[in-house]
Amino acid sequence: MSAWFRAPRLLGTRPLGTRLPGTRLPGTRLLSTLLLGITLLGTTLLGTLHLGGCASSPPASPPTADPATARKTTSGPLVGYVDEHGVHTWLGIPFAQAPVGQLRWQAPRPPLPWTERREALGFGAECIQFAGPVGSEAEPGSVVGSEDCLFLNIFAPARGPSEGDPRSPGLPVMVWIHGGGNTVGSARPYNGSALARQERVIVVTLQYRLGVFGWLSHPGLRPPGTSALDGSGNYGTLDLIRGLEWVRDEIAVFGGDPDRVTVFGESAGGTNVLSLLLAPPARGLFHRAISESGSLSSVARVKAEDYADAEAKGHARSSGELLVDLLQADGGAKGRADAQAKLAGWPPAEVGEYLRGKSPEQLMALFDGEGLAGMYWVPQVIRDGAVIPHGEPLEVLRSGAFPRVPVILGTNRDEVKLFAMMGTEHVTRAFGIPLWLNDERAYQLETEFPSRMWKVRGVDDPARAMVGFAPGQVFAYRFDWDEERKLGFADLSKMVGAGHAVEIPFVFGGLNLGGRGKYFFDSDRLPAAEALSRAIMSYWAEFARSGDPGGGTSGTLPRWQAWDATGPNGVRMMILDTPADGGLRMSRESVTREGVLAEIASDPRFLGTPERCEVYRSLAQRGDSLSRAEYAAVLDGGCAAYPLADWVAD
């Protein structure tokens, strides 16, 4: 989710990052219905935040090993099961050794081999994280998961007559990277069965280390003799690379083509897809890439390590700051200055030993209560020079230092509405549950421009940077579907609209939402939504098959053209929507950062300077859209009465 989840304010709202109260709702029918609806939002739309199921409900009974799924990998023999739709499924396959002990904060190692047949019938443990407010039996905010979490899952259609022949080409492979701000989430919610069955592709979902376990850079973790990868700090990124290496080496025995691998992911998963495009160790491991609601973001190593009061002004949650907090928490130092003095005298190996001696609970206690739905903020995608290049991501793309693979970049039209409705003053809430909009105009303004800026960062800027080096290989979309139903007085089409994560059930063919679709989809408009889902799946699969979404698998859909920057008549993106709102169609629209900032200044819907300043302020406090100096200059300095948080960059 990049930095968007930590925005402190939107048009005068309370902080979006504050934890929602856990009060139980009274047992009235109306509020119970609303709770079901909001739980649905949490468990499906926020599936990217690991709050529950995405595409389908769990099996009614534990699956049974099926001999038809027996496979022999280089690590050992496996057997999976055949689901109710005939899809061959393997769950919880280890693709790396457990990153525990000395392997904590090191590059992942290949899995240890086994000799007895392993039954791959259940998901592996999720990675260490905070439990979210819904979708988990654990108390919200408690630490859940395991460090032994590097598992993947495979969904494959039953083999055709020729697919068992090792000489025949395998099926396209689509490797899904889950979202959740890189601090929460798992592969468990994403059922690839429908996509595999309908489009005859192999779907792989995998997990990676999260938060402080996935991204932590400090000299104490790279003492003399440490390899560049072990000392990179980008352990979550390296987990993804190890998973792709496993796919390269093993997927053929599951019917997949190791030379047609597509990485795709949403939110933080989309950001991780873009980071893989930048990462030299990932070269050759994938051949197409799809980023859904991702963004180009990274952190300089000095920011990830230095103290916040150092000359370089390190990140507020840098490894240096975390060590200061740890020393004080365990009684090893009396105050910040004492902690810094003691750390200055520790040799690197001693720092690493100290960190590895901390339990997951002790490390996670440093972040308790910091973010929305269990998320918290750590420097991530660290520019170490080995896994992630030193330069700013956009500048790296502009230099042409990326693999020439076909890419789809996309966002949802109303990205930030899903988060804004949980904190804005323009939505009436009871017990933390959004009930209805009380000011539709103001709500639209506070969400529209940040959503457009998300598109600048995740689609238009990277597309413009890449297309000169890869003409005909960059495709873009905007997901516009907003036909949700009403729940009581809550009009979800306006409160959520084409919000963050809404496209996920469409991509995975799971509009039933595990039997809860009736709380989200209007029955009269459901057939059109199902048709849109089939179209999206078709485009995604054809892209995985050929590197060009074209007219979808059948060739009968409107042709999706590549990004064309040759003048004002060049097409830029495919709009994904139902016929009631214009249908599938190409658009010439493109957005720029400067254009969005100018639109805020001139849009007549604002009632005055305070409202405009609040939108500018929200962009500045979201991380990378507006610097402190730029904010001071907007509206000729008219926003001076609305100061920024002190952590906003200069």
**Residues with a known catalytic role:** 267, 415, 500
CB atoms within 10 A of CB 597: 18
534 vs 145: CA distance, rounded Å = 34
In our burial notation (b when 16+ CB lie closer than 10 A, e otherwise), range 545-570 reads bebbbbebbeeebbebbbbbeeeeee
Pairing assessment for the beta strands 129-130 and 143-144 based on DSSP bridges: antiparallel
What is the number of other CB atoms lying within 10 angstroms of the CB of residue 4? Answer: 26
Q: State how beta strands 151-156 and 202-206 pair.
A: antiparallel
Write out the two tokens for 489.
């007085």
Please compute Rg for the chain using Cα positions: 24
274, 295 Cβ separation under 8 angstroms: yes
Q: Which runs of consecutive H residues, i.e. helices, occur in 184-300?
A: 193-199, 211-214, 235-250, 268-278
φ/ψ (deg, to 5) at 491 = -90, 100
Helix (H) or strand (E) holding 450: helix 440-455
Question: Residue 167 contacts by C-beta under 8 Å, 6 or more apart in sequence?
Answer: none
The CA distances from residue 34 to 26, 353, 428, 437, 489, in Å, are: 11, 49, 13, 14, 9
Residue 637, phi-psi category: left (phi > 0), alpha (psi -120 to 50), beta (remainder): left
Token pair 């592709």 is found at: 201
DSSP string covering 104-120, please?
TTS---PPPP--SPEE-
| Pair of tokens at residue 59 | 């099996």
